[in-house]
């Protein structure tokens, strides 16, 4: 499964959609000169219409824990987000906090939802324009440094976007904070009401644990390595793949070197 011994120019490459709403999300398969078909799932949603067929697979383990199972669809979570925004904007401003990819997913969901202004920093607007360039339906955003924003804030009905960890500068007693997370906040419901003015909503179109097993089965891989670079679930997932699917699997052990800039 190690590709470093090959001249990459000799590898036949295949990219297929991963139905994961992030720029660059694809399944990747390559064929070596010896005819070995190797694949990498990347982040993926489920179900997938077209799954790569490989002999060896590296699969993402973000939701590789048996506890990472949800009983609702991403469509349910998207609708919950839209309903909460439509309801709470009548009360006052809404502050939405999320990591970069999830925040841009929110911009799609806000498109044509409300008539109030959506405010964000210049950097976020520039990033959103890249998504829009590649087919994402992004709502209109107003630069937080523009002169008109002061009046919008006085009116008290606006939506402002923040990255996780950023300081929220505006809002007030009537504001609502919506934290968007890629993790399940509740296996039975797509959102969790933390207080009268704070919600956590699960916005992630990534396959859950059971769906990840289905994906592995569909690839027809005979050997699987679970990617441990972004989660601690690689060992659990490898164990489940072996026991439940009867496919040889093992967890990766990342080695960090100066060659990777670490």
pLDDT (0 to 100) of residue 171: 67
In the chain, ranges of CATH 3.60.15.10 domains = 8-68+208-260
* DSSP-derived secondary structure letter, 188: S
Q: Which long-range contacts (CB under 8 A, 24 or more apart) does 12-18 make?
A: 14/52, 16/50, 16/51, 16/52, 17/48, 17/49, 17/50, 18/42, 18/43, 18/44, 18/45, 18/48
Considering the entire predicted model, what is its pTM? 0.80
pLDDT (0 to 100) of residue 185: 62
Residue with tokens 């679930």: 233
Helix axis angle, 234-245 to 209-219, nearest 10°: 60
d(CA 249, CA 179): 35
Q: Cβ distance 46 to 211 under 8 Å?
A: yes
**Secondary-structure class of domain 8-68+208-260 per CATH:** alpha beta
d(CA 114, CA 107): 12
pLDDT (0 to 100) of residue 51: 95
Task: Select from 3.40.50.80, 3.40.50.10890, 3.40.50.720, 3.40.630.30 the CATH code of 74-202.
Answer: 3.40.50.10890
pLDDT (0 to 100) of residue 111: 87
pLDDT (0 to 100) of residue 260: 44
pLDDT (0 to 100) of residue 18: 78
Low-confidence spans in the chain with pLDDT less than 50? 1-8, 260, 262
pLDDT (0 to 100) of residue 13: 67
In the chain, ranges of CATH 3.40.50.10890 domains = 74-202
* DSSP-derived secondary structure letter, 33: T
């Amino acid at each position: 499964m190690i590709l470093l011994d090959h001249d990459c120019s000799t590898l036949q490459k295949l990219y297929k959609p991963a139905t994961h709403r992030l720029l660059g999300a694809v399944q990747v398969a390559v064929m070596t000169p010896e005819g070995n078909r190797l694949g990498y799932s990347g982040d993926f949603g489920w179900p997938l219409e077209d799954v790569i067929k490989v002999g060896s697979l590296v699969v993402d383990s973000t939701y590789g824990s048996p506890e990472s199972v949800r009983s609702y669809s991403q469509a349910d979570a998207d609708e919950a987000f839209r309903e909460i925004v439509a309801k709470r904007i009548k009360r006052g401003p809404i502050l939405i906090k999320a990591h970069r990819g999830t925040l841009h997913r929110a911009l799609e969901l806000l498109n044509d939802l409300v008539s109030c202004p959506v405010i964000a920093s210049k950097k976020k607007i520039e990033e959103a324009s890249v998504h829009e360039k590649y087919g994402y339906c992004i709502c209109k955003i107003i630069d937080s440094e523009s002169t008109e924003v002061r009046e919008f804030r006085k009116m008290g009905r606006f939506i402002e976007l923040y990255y996780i960890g950023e300081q929220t500068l505006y809002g007030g007693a009537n504001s609502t904070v919506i934290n968007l997370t890629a993790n399940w906040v509740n296996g039975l419901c797509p959102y969790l009401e933390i207080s009268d003015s704070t919600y956590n909503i699960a916005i992630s179109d990534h396959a859950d644990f059971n769906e990840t097993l289905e994906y592995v089965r569909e690839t027809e891989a005979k050997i699987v390595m679970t990617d441990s670079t972004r989660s601690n679930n690689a060992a659990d997932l490898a164990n489940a793949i072996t026991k439940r699917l009867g496919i040889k699997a093992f967890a990766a052990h990342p080695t960090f070197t100066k060659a990777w800039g670490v």
